[in-house]
A and B are shown apart, each in its own frame.
Chain A
Amino acid sequence: MNIEPKPGIPPSAGHLTDLLVKLKEQPADAITRNAYQDPKAVEWLSDRTKIPGVMLPYTVGGTPEAKDLFSLFDDTIARLLKAKKPA
Chain B
Amino acid sequence: MSAIGWSVLLPALVAGLLVAATHVPLGKQVLVRGIVFIDIAIAQIAGVGVLLADFLGWEAEGIAVQISALAAALLGALLLTWTERKWPDVQEAIIGVVFILAATAEILLLAGNPQGGEHLKDMLVGQILWVGTRQIVFTAILTAVVLVVWFGWQLKIGRIGFYLLFGLSVTASVQLVGVYLVFATLIIPALATRHARTLRLVKAYAVAGLGYAVGLFLSAWLDLPSGAVVVWALAVAGTVCFALEGGAVRSQAPSLR
Contacts and interface: CB of A to CB of B under 8 A. Distances in A.
B8 A20 contact: yes
B8 A16 contact: yes
A54 to B, nearest CB: 16
A47 B132 contact: yes
22 contacts: A9-B225, A10-B227, A11-B129, A12-B219, A13-B12, A13-B129, A13-B216, A13-B219, A13-B220, A13-B226, A14-B219, A14-B220, A15-B223, A17-B5, A17-B220, A36-B114, A38-B115, A40-B130, A41-B127, A44-B129, A44-B132, A47-B132
**Closest CB pairs A-B (n = 8):** A13-B220, A38-B118, A36-B114, A14-B223, A10-B225, A14-B220, A13-B219, A17-B5
A37 interface: yes
A39 to B, nearest CB: 8
Interface residues of B, number: 31
Per DSSP, chain B at the interface is helix
B127 A10 contact: yes
A36 B115 CA distance: 5
Interface string A10-40: 1111111100110010000000000111111
B226 A12 contact: yes
A12 B114 contact: no
Contacts of A14: 219-223
B251 interface: no
Interface of A: 8-17, 20-21, 24, 35-41, 43-44, 47-48
Contact of B220 (A12, A21, A37, A41): A12
In this complex, which of A16, A35, A37 has the most chain B Cβ atoms within 10 angstroms of its Cβ?
Answer: A16
A35 B223 contact: no
Contact of B4 (A17, A37, A40, A47): A17
Contacts of B4: 17, 20-21, 24
B9 A13 contact: yes
A53 to B, nearest CB: 13
B36 to A, nearest CB: 26
B7 interface: yes
Interface in B1-45: 2, 4-5, 7-9, 12
